[in-house]
Structure formats: structure tokens, C-alpha cells
Amino acid sequence: MSEVTLPALGESVTEGTVTRWLKNVGDTVAIDEPLVEVSTDKVDTEIPSPFAGTLTQIMVQEDETVAVGAVLAIVGEAAAAASAEVAPSTPEEAAPVASTAPVEPEAAAPVATPPVAAAPVAPVATPPVAAAPVAPVATPPVAAAPVAPVATPPVAAAPVAPAPAPVAAAPAAPVAAAPTPPSSPAAGTGTEETASDPNYVTPIVRKLASELGIDLGTIRGSGVGGRIRKEDLTAPTSKVVPASAHTSAEASPLRGTTVPMSRLRKVLSERAVASMQQSAQLTSVVEVDVTKIAEMRQRVQAEFTQKAGTKLSFMPFFTLAAAEALAANPIINATVEDTNIVYHGSDHIAFAVDTERGLLTPVIKDAASMSIATMAKVIADMAERTRTNKLTPDELSGGTFTLTNTGSRGALFDTPVVFLPQSAILGTGVVTKRAAVVKDADGNDTIGIRSMVYLALSYDHRIIDGADASRYLMQVKSRLEAGNFEANLGI
């Protein structure tokens, strides 16, 4: 018998909750085969079996929380050995069966000649009882017996088939004939006749209206005599808002239900409340012109994707600028311990990832020393592994500052919550093009179309003042607006 214990899942992880057993008692397990799912305050993960054998006993039930090192299950080898003994005996027993099988046909041969029924009975009973009867029963009755008689003898099916056809065709002919007069000339050569008919709609316009889901009866035409033109359907001032143009979002199956919180959601809710109660949080916002970065992305995107193996988004630029500014503004990268302020000597940037299990924050270690290409690859890799639950607990620990991409879902900005023990978090809104006041070549103010983004910094007012937050934000803003990242691309 071998004991399967809860392994250490990270330096700061002391316990875990069994969320689901992947094997049942009596099941055979192999070495490193997933045995049970365990949830911690850092990550949900599968625990593989360190032994091969049979699961003989489950010691911790689902939804139970145990400490690291606790026995989760017992894996034994007895059942596996027993099954191994049964396996070789089967061929030995099968050998005499195989030898007696031909003997029975020999004895049955003379008897089977008069009663033909005896021949089928013997094979049916001896080999596969299920397979032999099913084949004859399923094939003749279903495919041959019912279909052939029904289709062949009752020739009434032939009259019946034509009967509905003419009946269906009869009403269709008059119905089609009634509305046809206006359109039949179009199908022919009567263009002169339709040109003077305000109710006439060309096939192109009718097809376009069908594709757009527009009811032509609600459109006032702008053509000669009030005829509807293609422009009337595509004009932005069209008064038609067809009902079919809007598709309601599919209702979630969670509506009207009650479900327990997952362990991760419980931890997040407890930490959020504790952070709001134990710190004094407020938010400062600045607007940043990232047009130069947008132009750079467009200019180097193809080459960057080819060499770095991932697309170039705004996120690596935001992360690098945020990390660089921490060196000159250490209070933003500090922690409160009792009555002391601990200034961190490294910039470990946690970034928020939205997953089906909840919000998780993998950590990029020493982000300020990375190139844009390295940063992009690290962000893409860690985000993917976070969503697929392949991140280690240690990769979710040690963050000194957090970045959250609020704009990934289209929001302009929000006021993110600082999670203790960190003292600040930077939210990046969606990058949008809009009119802004800029300087022309002569230094005069003018209006231009610019790529703009809001940066929102939430911080702990116990140690960070508004002036500190503003200094930090203005340094990040200056770095991004200058757009001098060519030397940092790393391609």
C-alpha cells in the first residue's frame, strides 16, 4: 500500500481543498496519471499519482480542506497483481474452448442437416450472443423487410406522391401568379412598363433588402416617382431599424440558480474586502497620446510577429514604461509592514488575467530589464498558461506592483482595487482614436486624430500622496508619448 499525500504547491501555500476526484475506488492508475483536482488560494491544479496500482481508498472527500502533507488516498498493488494473474489464465481456458468448438459442429453436423434451425442456434448461443442475433434482426426487418414491402406493394404511394405534388403546386401557382405581375415584366423585357411604376423594386434592391433584413414596405424611395433605390437601404439616415437586425444575447444557464463560491472566488472576495478595509485607496487618472506607438506597431508588426513569434500589442509598452518609472518613484513600489515602509529593490509586475475560474495575476520578474519582444512573449505565454491552469503557484507570487488591462473588454478606464500587501495598481483603458489638440510644425494648436488612452493609478493613501501618484503617472505618460522604443524592441 502507498500513500498519496498533498504536495507543497508553492512557498506560501499551506493547505488545499479537494475539488474533484478524477478516479474512483477500484480504478487502476498509472504513474503521473492525474488523480485528483486540488484548489489553493493561488491556483487550481491536478495532483498526479506518484505510484502505479489500484486506488483502494479515498481519505479526503470533495470540498474538504487539508494541510500540505496530508494523506489524500491509498494506492495498492494487490488488485493490480490479481488482475495480472487473471489475464494469463484466460488464454489457457480459451484454448480448450477453441478445441471443443470444432468438435460440436462435427457432432451437430448430422443433426443439423434435417433441422436447419439448429445450425444457426449453435453459433448464436456459443460466440457473441448479442452480435449474432442483432445482425440478422437489424438487417432484414429494418432495411429489407419493412422498406421493400411498403415501397413495392402499396403502389398507392406513387399516386400519393404525385397527389400532394400537384396539390402543393396548384396553390403555389396562383399565389405566385398574383404578386407576379409587377415583377414578371422585370424578368422579361418590359423595362419601359416598370420604369413608370413606383412600386417596382429591382432584383438587386430586393436581394439587398433581404440580406439586410429590411422590410421594403417601410422604406420611402428617393427615386423617380418614389421608387426605392439601393442607396435608400444603405443610407445612414434610413429610418428602418429592422427587428431582425438585433440578435439578443443568449441567456446564461446560471439565471435563477444558486451555486457555492469556488475556493478561488472566496479568497479573492476576502482579500478584496480586507484590502479596502485596511488601506486608504483612491485613484488618479491621466490621458495619454500613444499615436507614435500605434504608428510603430503598424510599421513593424509583420517583422515583429515573424521574429518574436507573437503579435505586438500595446501591453508590452505599457508594462515596460510602468516598470521603468518604479525605479524613480520607489514609494509606488513599496509595502507597509506595521509602522515601516519597505521599498522593494526589484520590479516584479503582476498582470491581471481573466479566466473562467476568476481573476489571477501571474508575475513578470524584473520587468524593467526586458525588451519589448521578450516582454510580449512572456505575457502571451503566462496568460495562456494561466487560462489553461498550467501555471505554478510560485509564478503567481512575489508581485510588487500590478498592471490590469481594463481596456481589453472596451472600458475607457476604471478604479482598480489595490490588493495588499502591494500599494498601487495601474489600469490601462482601451486605446481609441479621437480628436485632440496637438501642436503643428510651427508650434500652433490644431485639431488632429490621435490614438488616446486613459491610465488610472489606484494607490494606498497611507503612504502614497496624490503628488507621488501624479509624478509617477506623468513619467509613464512622458515615456509613452515620446514613443522612443526602437532600441527596446529586441528584434
Residue 428: Cβ within 10 Å count: 28
User: What pLDDT score was predicted for residue 89?
Assistant: 42
User: What pLDDT score was predicted for residue 102?
Assistant: 41
**376 neighbors 313 (Cβ within 8 angstroms):** yes
The predicted-structure confidence for 293-307, as pLDDT tens digits, reads as follows: 999 999 999 999 999
User: What pLDDT score was predicted for residue 267?
Assistant: 85
User: What pLDDT score was predicted for residue 265?
Assistant: 86
**11 neighbors 82 (Cβ within 8 angstroms):** no
pLDDT under 70: residue ranges of the chain? 78-200, 224-225, 235-245
User: What pLDDT score was predicted for residue 224?
Assistant: 64
Classified as helix, coil or strand, 54 is strand
User: What pLDDT score was predicted for residue 358?
Assistant: 84
Q: Is the peptide bond before 421 cis (omega within 30 degrees of 0)?
A: yes
The predicted-structure confidence for 163-214, as pLDDT tens digits, reads as follows: 444 434 344 444 444 444 444 333 344 444 444 455 667 777 787 888 787 8
Please name which of 94, 9, 109 lies closest in space to residue 391, comparing C-alpha atoms.
9
**344 neighbors 324 (Cβ within 8 angstroms):** no
> Mapped to the 3 state alphabet, what secondary structure does 140-169 carry?
HHHHHCCHHHHHCCCCCHHHHCCCHHHHHH
pTM above 0.85, yes or no: no
User: What pLDDT score was predicted for residue 131?
Assistant: 39
User: What pLDDT score was predicted for residue 339?
Assistant: 94
Alpha-helical regions (H) of 235-284: 263-278
Distance of alpha carbon 213 from alpha carbon 85, whole angstroms: 70
Distance of alpha carbon 318 from alpha carbon 455, whole angstroms: 10
User: What pLDDT score was predicted for residue 490?
Assistant: 92
Q: Which three cell numbers stand for residue 214?
A: 429590411
The predicted-structure confidence for 325-342, as pLDDT tens digits, reads as follows: 999 999 999 999 999 999
The predicted-structure confidence for 409-428, as pLDDT tens digits, reads as follows: 899 999 999 999 999 999 99
Domains of the chain and CATH, by start: 2-76 (2.40.50.100), 80-151 (no CATH), 160-241 (no CATH), 263-488 (3.30.559.10)
Residues in the chain: 491
Q: Which three cell numbers stand for residue 30?
A: 498509472
Residue 330: Cβ within 10 Å count: 14
The predicted-structure confidence for 433-457, as pLDDT tens digits, reads as follows: 999 999 888 889 999 999 999 999 9
Annotated catalytic residues are 461, 465
With a CB cutoff of 8 Å and minimum separation 6, the contacts of 345 are none
Exposed, middle or buried: residue 374 (CB in 10 Å: 0-12, 13-18, 19+)? middle
Classified as helix, coil or strand, 227 is coil
Strands of 34-39's sheet in order across = 44-48, 34-39, 15-21, 65-67
**416 neighbors 460 (Cβ within 8 angstroms):** no
Q: Which three cell numbers stand for residue 126?
A: 456459443
Which amino acid would we find at residue 449? Answer: I
Up-side HSE of residue 57: CA atoms within 13 Å toward CB?
10
Average pLDDT, the chain: 78
**126 neighbors 101 (Cβ within 8 angstroms):** yes
User: What pLDDT score was predicted for residue 197?
Assistant: 55
Please state the φ and ψ torsions of residue 150, each to the nearest 5 degrees.
-65, -45
With a CB cutoff of 8 Å and minimum separation 6, the contacts of 185 are 191, 193, 194
Q: 196 vs 190, 207, 224, 225, 228, CA distance in Å?
A: 11, 21, 8, 7, 13
